Structure 1
Amino acid sequence: MLTAAALGTAAAGAPSLMTRAAAADTAPRDAGYTRLAFVEDFNSPDVIDWSGRGLPGKSFYLDLPWTNRMTPTDRIRVENSSLIVDQAWTNQNVAVTSLSARSGEGRSFGYGLYEARMRFDPSLGIRSNGYPSFWMLPKGQLHNTQFKRHGEIDVFEAYHAPGEPYTGYFAGTVHDSQPQHGWNYRHVQNRNNVTFRNITTPQWHTYGALWEPGKVTWYFDGAVTTSVSYGADRLPSAATWDPIGGQDVSESGTFSVLDQRANEGMGIIFGTAPGWPLEIDWVKVWTR
C-alpha cells in the first residue's frame, strides 16, 4: 500500500463462485491452516484503543505508523457488531492496525489464511484518490519504521485510478520493497494482481489471502482470484514490475523477503480514503 496498486492483467469475467465454506475447507485446510489464531467480530467498542497511546489488550489501534498522528476517533465507529472506518485525510489507506506504532502492543501473525468479511459502496470511488483496503506489513515496518527491505501483502484493494469511478476490480498484490537513496523505496509487484469481480453494489463479501512458504493465493468469496509463487533462487511465477519507475523487473529472489522475515510476523491494516467508508464485519487468521 506504500504505492498505489497499478492495474495488471484484468480478467474478462469472474469465475463461478464456490460456497463461502470452501475458503476454509479446500486448499487452506488441506495445507493444514486449521487453527483459528485470531478472530475479531467487533461486538464491543472496547476492542479498539481509542486513546492513541498503544494500550495493551486491544485488537486494533488508531496511532498511525510513520507519523505522530492518529486516526481521529470520530472517523471510526463500532456499530451493529461491525467496524466502520473512514479517514480525515489521504494517508496511504491506513486507518486502523493490529499493532500499535507507538508502543508495539498488539498482534502480528506469520503464515496463514487471512480473511475479512467487508462491504463498501462502490459508487463512492469517484470521490477518492484512495480506496478500501485490507493489507499487511511486517511488525518492524509498523513499529519504529525500520528502513530495510521488506515484503507487503495487499489482501484486497478496491483499486481505481485517481478521480475515476471504481468498476468492480479485485486487486491482490504482493510487494518487494527495497531501500534506495535517501528514504525512497523501489516497490516491485506482481503484474497479475487485478481481476474483475463485478463488485458494483454495497454487499458483504469475504476477502482473503493464504500466505504459505513460497506462495501467496488470493480469494474472493472462497474462489481463487490469482496466486504468485516465489523462491530465493528463482523468478516469481508471475511477471513483475516497478510501477513507479514504469519498468519491468526480472530478478531471481523477488518476494523471497517475505519468508526471510516471516518470524517477525505481519500486522493487519484496514484503511480507505476520505468519503469512502469501509465496513468490516469480522477478521480472522487461520494458522497451522
Structure 2
Amino acid sequence: MTRARKAPARPAPDGWTLVWNDEFDGDQIDRSKWDFDIGNGFFDYHSHTWVPGWGNEELQYYTDAAANAYVKDSALHICAIKESLHGCGYTSARLKTRSRDGAPLFNQTYGRFEIRAQVPWGKGLWPALWMLPQNDTHGRWAASGEIDIMEIHGEDPTRTLGSIHFGSTYPKRSLVTHTHKLPSTTTVADWHVYAVEWEPGEIRWYFDGVHWATQGFWWSCSQTRDGQGLAPRRASDINPWPAPFDHPFYLLMNVAVGGNFPGVPNAQTQFPATLVVDYVRVYQRSAGYGESKPRAPGRMPYSKQKA
C-alpha cells in the first residue's frame, strides 16, 4: 500500500473535546502509550488450561519485533509476515493501551474513538481496531463487553464490520454485528476514518464521518457455574443497565492470520500484510453524558461468532 500525505490537523468534531491521541510523528512506537500481546494464546487460570490461537484458532505468533510493528513516515505499521516462529507459520503484532501486567496505559468510559487507517485484505486475514474492558467488572469475556470499531472478513475489501460482544461469560455470550458496504469507488486498502461514538445506552459507528449503524440494546449477566457463564433466568440476574458498556475500555489494533472467522490464507493472499495507521484520537463529550434508558431489542443482526 502506498502512503498518502498525512491527514491535516482539524478541529475536534462538534460537541467533542480531544483527550488522548497518538499521531505517530516520531521514529518509534511510544511505549508509554502502547504495549504488545506476545505469543499464540493465553493461559486460562479459571480452567487451568492453555488456550491456543487466542481462542479463535488463529495461526500467527504475536511479537514486539520491529519487523512486525514500527513507525515510518508518520504512521504506525503492523505487519503480518509469512514466516515460522515457535510452531506458528506467521508472525504479526497486536498493540494495546494496557500493559501486559494489566496496568492501564490509557482507558476511558464513553467517548468518540477515531482511527485513520489503510487496511490489508486477502483470504485468511483478520485486521481489527477494537476495544476491551480494562477490568472484568461484570465477569470474564464477554460479560464485561467488547466493542469492535472495525474488522473485515479478509477476502472482502468492500465491507467493514462493527460489532459488540456482551451477555454472560463464554460460552453463554451474545454477538451483534453490523455490516457496512463501502462506496463503489473505494476499498478498505484506501485511507479511511473509522470511529465509534459510545455514550450511555448507545453505540454508533462512523465511516469517513458518515454515521452508518447504531446499537442501543445489550445485556450483561455475571452468573457462572464451574467457571462457565449462565444464561439469565430472572430479571435480577441481569446487571443494571447499561452494563456491560458502563466502565473503562482500552484500545487494541492487530492483524490476525487465519482463525474460525476468516479461514486460512490461500495462494492469492499477499504477505507481508500491513495495517497502516495514520492516527488514533479519543474524545470526550464536552457537555458530559446524561442518563439513558434501554431500547427494546427488536430484530438484531447476527454474524459469525468470534470466540
Identify the TM-score tier after normalising by the shorter chain.
Answer: 0.5 to 0.7
* Residue 247 (structure 1) aligns with: none
SS state at 2:256 partner: coil
| Residue in structure 1 matching 2:179, options 187, 191, 194 | 194
Is the CA contact (8 Å cut-off) linking 2:142 and 2:173 kept in structure 1?
no
User: Greater helix percent: which structure?
Assistant: 1
**What stretches of structure 1 move > 6 A for 4+ residues in a row?**
20-23, 255-258
Could you say if the C-alpha distance between residues 141 and 82 of structure 1 is closer, same or farther in structure 2, counting changes exceeding 3 Å? Answer: farther
Q: Distance in 1 between matches of 2:175 and 2:27?
A: 36
Higher RCO (CA < 8 A, seq sep 6+): 1
SS state at 1:150 partner: coil
Q: 1:200 is aligned with what amino acid? A: T
* Residue 110 (structure 2) aligns with: 111
Task: Give, in angstroms, the shift of residue 170 of structure 1.
Answer: 1.3
| Residue in structure 2 matching 1:284, options 281, 284, 305 | 281
Could you say if the C-alpha distance between residues 83 and 149 of structure 1 is closer, same or farther in structure 2, counting changes exceeding 3 Å? Answer: same
Q: Which has the larger radius of gyration?
A: 2
* Residue 245 (structure 1) aligns with: none
Does residue 174 in structure 1 map to residue 164 in structure 2? yes
Task: Give, in angstroms, the shift of residue 195 of structure 1.
Answer: 1.7
Of stretches 257-266 and 94-103 in structure 1, the one that deviates more from structure 2 is 257-266
Q: Distance in 1 between matches of 2:209 and 2:197?
A: 11
Q: Distance in 2 between matches of 1:22 and 1:225?
A: 22
Q: 2:128 is aligned with what amino acid? A: S
Task: Give, in angstroms, the shift of residue 283 of structure 1.
Answer: 0.4
Q: Distance in 1 between matches of 2:102 and 2:25?
A: 25
* Residue 132 (structure 1) aligns with: 127
Task: Give, in angstroms, the shift of residue 70 of structure 1.
Answer: 5.5
Q: Distance in 1 between matches of 2:142 and 2:30?
A: 29
| Residue in structure 2 matching 1:24, options 13, 18, 31 | 13
Could you say if the C-alpha distance between residues 223 and 260 of structure 1 is closer, same or farther in structure 2, counting changes exceeding 3 Å? Answer: same
SS state at 1:185 partner: coil
Q: How many residues align?
A: 222
SS state at 1:100 partner: coil
Task: Give, in angstroms, the shift of residue 147 of structure 1.
Answer: 5.9
Is the CA contact (8 Å cut-off) linking 1:138 and 1:150 kept in structure 2?
yes
Q: Distance in 1 between matches of 2:160 and 2:23?
A: 23
Could you say if the C-alpha distance between residues 252 and 103 of structure 1 is closer, same or farther in structure 2, counting changes exceeding 3 Å? Answer: closer
Q: Distance in 1 between matches of 2:112 and 2:239?
A: 18
Is the CA contact (8 Å cut-off) linking 2:157 and 2:188 kept in structure 1?
no
String of CA shifts for 1:109-132, please: whole Å, max 9, x gaps.
11001000000244xx12x2x422
Task: Give, in angstroms, the shift of residue 256 of structure 1.
Answer: 7.3
Q: 2:77 is aligned with what amino acid? A: I
Task: Give, in angstroms, the shift of residue 87 of structure 1.
Answer: 3.7
Could you say if the C-alpha distance between residues 23 and 222 of structure 1 is closer, same or farther in structure 2, counting changes exceeding 3 Å? Answer: farther
Q: What is the TM-score normalised by the length of structure 2? A: 0.61
User: Greater strand percent: which structure?
Assistant: 2
String of CA shifts for 1:126-148, please: whole Å, max 9, x gaps.
2x2x4221000000259xx9567
Is the CA contact (8 Å cut-off) linking 1:155 and 1:172 kept in structure 2?
yes
* Residue 152 (structure 1) aligns with: 146
* Residue 211 (structure 1) aligns with: 198
Could you say if the C-alpha distance between residues 173 and 262 of structure 1 is closer, same or farther in structure 2, counting changes exceeding 3 Å? Answer: closer
Task: Give, in angstroms, the shift of residue 206 of structure 1.
Answer: 0.3
SS state at 2:165 partner: strand
Q: What is the TM-score normalised by the length of structure 1? A: 0.65
Q: 1:151 is aligned with what amino acid? A: G
Q: Distance in 2 between matches of 1:283 and 1:121?
A: 18
Q: 2:110 is aligned with what amino acid? A: Y
Is the CA contact (8 Å cut-off) linking 2:192 and 2:207 kept in structure 1?
yes
* Residue 71 (structure 1) aligns with: 63
For the aligned residue pairs, the C-alpha RMSD in angstroms reads 3.8
Q: Distance in 2 between matches of 1:263 and 1:230?
A: 13
